Structure 1
């Protein structure tokens, strides 16, 4: 591994860990720097990857950029900003879906069976979120949340058919991150949810970025 990549990896870890620290301190300026900044550093790491499929790499970069934009929206308070953040991540998942499809490995029994746990979990999650959203009176958020869960579920399956284990792991961990965020926001508070969301989120984005180099 080159020195440049080692430095970028160290910077990603330090930036992500730094964001976890400033979450506790409530330092607004540093949150604006470190939250999207960590994703931009991952993009920097992707830029160092050579001899890889350019279409796949460019789509992943686009997904990371959309995620960084979503991070900025979610730093703002209010339903309007939440929906804009949700929309940014929704488009990021659509782009990741497109990236994974470029590595289509064909259908198999395993890949078809993978639809079952993805669907069961998604239905269970949506059931809880529907109840929480309607009980909380934020009924206008139900449709965006429904579409979002459908899209991220499809993204996970597209990772499965890509044949990349690290892409599958990244997609699943991303869903875990979003599930924690949504459940904590709409259903019931979860202790330490903010930290769990960010740790899984950064891990997911890093794994999806690393999938560029997987064969």
Structure 2
């Protein structure tokens, strides 16, 4: 269970910031207001960093490693604000490293082998279906970078499943899968179609997932 010392009011403030910032970000993207993106996206990223800190991220190895992953995710958010191939690559690397750190954070907790095994099939299916869907749309180096990225996502999902039975496992598993599916919206926008539908579901899913993962550290404070 979440640490009882974590007051609802303490969680509510970064959660409210996240809600307002994500709403502002989605409105800015819908109306193509570039200035709004540069205001609201960093604020939304700051909200999940803030939540992790007030939830006690510095009080456990799990929290510290997860916080490092959250910081890399926030860096990826900043890079993806810019519409260029170089910025996309920088964002891809940041998120790749973030996924690796999440996987490493999950490994700080006792591993449930049944949960680990049960995650292998759905994680593998996500990778295979996504890569088959993107096949023919990946230019140049992306033909190698995206499969590598998807394998890291699969590892993160499998290790998230391995936390089954631990405090906060629900937050971890739902957060990890939400993060993975939000990456699909980014891939669709980058390689398939730039229609607004990508962000209408991908943006709130991504930030909600980061908030769930950030909150999970409260279950593992010393």
TM-score, structure 2 normalization: 0.86
Aligned pairs for 1:27-176 within 5 A: 27-50=33-56, 53-108=59-114, 110-133=115-138, 138-163=139-164, 164-176=169-181
In 1, Cα distance between equivalents of 2:32 and 2:71: 25
TM-superposition CA deviations, 1:43-76 (whole Å, max 9, x none): 1122112498521111121111111111111111
**Does the 8 Å contact 2:56/2:217 carry over to 1?**
no
Number of residues of Structure 1 aligned to a counterpart in Structure 2: 210
Q: Tell me, what secondary structure is at the counterpart of 2:113?
A: coil
Name the counterpart of 1:12.
18
Name the counterpart of 1:197.
202
Name the counterpart of 2:211.
206
State the 1:131 CA deviation. Answer: 2.1
**Does the 8 Å contact 2:55/2:214 carry over to 1?**
no
In 2, Cα distance between equivalents of 1:111 and 1:2: 32
In 2, Cα distance between equivalents of 1:77 and 1:190: 15
State the 1:3 CA deviation. Answer: 3.4
| Stretches of structure 1 lacking an aligned partner (at least 5 in a row) | none
**Does the 8 Å contact 1:5/1:45 carry over to 2?**
yes
The answer to which of 30-39 and 51-60 deviates more is 51-60
**Does the 8 Å contact 1:52/1:212 carry over to 2?**
no
Name the counterpart of 1:182.
187
TM-score, structure 1 normalization: 0.89
Give the CA RMSD over aligned residues. Answer: 2.0
In 1, Cα distance between equivalents of 2:31 and 2:42: 18
**Does the 8 Å contact 2:58/2:64 carry over to 1?**
no
TM-superposition CA deviations, 1:127-177 (whole Å, max 9, x none): 1212222xxxx1221111111111011101111112212101111111111
Q: Tell me, what secondary structure is at the counterpart of 1:132?
A: coil
The answer to which of 93-102 and 47-56 deviates more is 47-56
In 2, Cα distance between equivalents of 1:81 and 1:2: 37
